[in-house]
Amino acid sequence: MMKKSHNLIFLVDDSKSNVAVLTEMLTAHGYEVASASDGDTALQEIERIMPDLILLDVEMPGTSGFEVCRILKRRSQFSDTPIIMLTSLREIQDKVQGFEAGCVDYITKPFQLEEVRARVSAHLDIRNLQAELRSRNEQLEEVNRELRTALNNVKILSGLLRICASCKSVRDDDGYWKQVETYLATHADVTFTHGICPTCFDKLYGEVDLKNT
């Protein structure tokens, strides 16, 4: 398998001269280039090497560029791969057909090399920015999931707590008076254990010699 590059361009054209000229220009600008001369071979090779961008001739023997584009866009792994059509077709319906098939841009033949380079560079930049945005969104969603989990594990008491000055019962939002431990058990993540403070112990039991009990 070809080594994956961050700037791997796959060129599909049945014209050997076009392939040679475009390959020379693209490699001179730091891109790695692979190519095929027909649609069927292109589909096999594209699946194998997973390019970052595809330059696709429309009119070829066998499977047309339109159909190659449609097939690729039905495969999830290529849904975000930019496909630029190379064509001598100039009618608006031909361009519409290409966009409906899933291409992102058109370059008409005879092409200018600087135009090809500029469009390739622009669409790769867009692809890389979209990938970075997806990555950041995934990281943000993970942080949000962790935050939601943390918040779900914390119950917060806030506002005015209505408590009886005598028996210390608490009035809930429905108007019912409940023992404070009952109220807190349903509004906060706490577990109660019961004991007696020294003051209450003296009040309830008086002076008791614990050594003789």
pLDDT (tens digit per residue) in 157-212: 566 778 888 888 888 878 888 887 787 777 766 677 777 777 777 777 766 555 55
Confidence (pLDDT) at 2: 42
Contact present, 24 and 30 (Cβ < 8 Å): no
What burial class does residue 22 get, using C-beta atoms within 10 Å of its C-beta: 0-12 exposed, 13-18 middle, 19+ buried? Answer: buried
Q: Would you give the DSSP letter of residue 15?
A: -
For the cut 60, the answer to whether the pLDDT of residue 92 exceeds it is yes
Q: What is the phi/psi pair of residue 55, to 5°?
A: -100, 115
Round to whole Å and give the CA distance between 22 and 133. Answer: 30
Confidence (pLDDT) at 1: 40
Encode burial over 69-97: b for 16+ CB neighbours within 10 A, e otherwise: bbbbbeeeebeebbbbbbbebeeeebbeb
Round to whole Å and give the CA distance between 178 and 183. Answer: 6
Could you give all domains of the chain from N- to C-terminal order, each with its CATH number? 8-142 (3.40.50.2300), 162-212 (no CATH)
For the cut 60, the answer to whether the pLDDT of residue 59 exceeds it is yes
pLDDT (tens digit per residue) in 160-173: 778 888 888 888 87
For the cut 90, the answer to whether the pLDDT of residue 114 exceeds it is yes
Beta bridge partners of 54: 10, 83
pLDDT (tens digit per residue) in 95-105: 899 999 999 99
Round to whole Å and give the CA distance between 206 and 173. Answer: 39
Answering whether pTM is above 0.85, one says no
Which uninterrupted H or E stretch holds 91? none
Confidence (pLDDT) at 155: 56
The percent of residues above 90 in pLDDT, for the chain, comes to 47
